[in-house]
Amino acid sequence: MKIVLVMAVTADGRIAKSSDHFPNWTSREDKQFFAKTSKEHGVVIMGDKTFNTFPAPLKERLNVVFTLEKNPKEIEGVKWVSGEPEDVLKELEEMGYESAVLGGGAFINGLFLEKGLIDEVAITIEPKVFGDGISLFKGDFDANLKLIGVEKINEDSVILRYKVIY
């Protein structure tokens, strides 16, 4: 199953100021890119902290949310999961999905990278600086990337696309 990490970061590499920071700081163009890309894939995988920053589940796609909660409440369009990412991806394949967007946060991104499950990375660089905050990945890595595309989406923001080399 193809996994594409799609995230926005500040110029200093932060995805948020804190775990409850609502992602309203990104440009309209980044939001449009994320919506279009995630709808094309049909699935967005994220952690529950990321999911809880949204007012509602993302529409027109399956929200796959990793949680440690024993009995999360049922929400239409949300598939609560736990355990190994490989098992979750196998289940998604069995459901007919061929690809998915990985949408954060840092812990889930790091878990997927550590296990060699991310095929591509699409990072929107936004013209902001947070200083302190949450990095794109949590963990200790030495991963190599190959640039496969650069797209300027507005006057100040660009999307960098990379293939992950394992």
**The pLDDT of residue 22:** 75
- Cβ(109)–Cβ(136) below 8 Å: yes
Provide CATH code, domain 2-165: 3.40.430.10
Give the pLDDT confidence of 144-162 residue by residue, as tens digits: 999 999 999 999 999 999 9
CA gap 13, 157 in Å, rounded: 13
Instruction: Report which of 6, 48, 4, 47 is spatially closest to residue 26, judged by C-alpha positions.
Output: 6
Give the pLDDT confidence of 98-107 residue by residue, as tens digits: 999 999 999 9
Alpha carbon separation from 138 to 97, 106, 144 (Å, rounded): 27, 5, 16
Going from N- to C-terminal start, the domains of the chain cover: 2-165
- The token duo for 62 is 């399956």
Give the pLDDT confidence of 67-88 residue by residue, as tens digits: 999 889 999 999 999 999 999 9
Give the pLDDT confidence of 39-48 residue by residue, as tens digits: 999 999 999 9
CA gap 139, 128 in Å, rounded: 23
Q: What is the mean pLDDT of the chain?
A: 96
**The pLDDT of residue 24:** 87
- Cβ(27)–Cβ(42) below 8 Å: no
- The model's pTM is 0.96
CA gap 15, 21 in Å, rounded: 9
- Residue 23: pLDDT band by 50, 70, 90 thresholds? confident
CA torsion angle 62 68 69 75 (round to 10): 0
**The pLDDT of residue 130:** 97
CA gap 42, 144 in Å, rounded: 27
What does 90-148 look like in DSSP terms, one character per residue?
HHHHHTT--EEEE---HHHHHHHHHTT---EEEEEEES---SSSEES--S----EEEEE
pLDDT > 90? residue 20: no
- The total number of residues written for the chain in this structure: 166
CA gap 128, 24 in Å, rounded: 12
**The pLDDT of residue 19:** 84
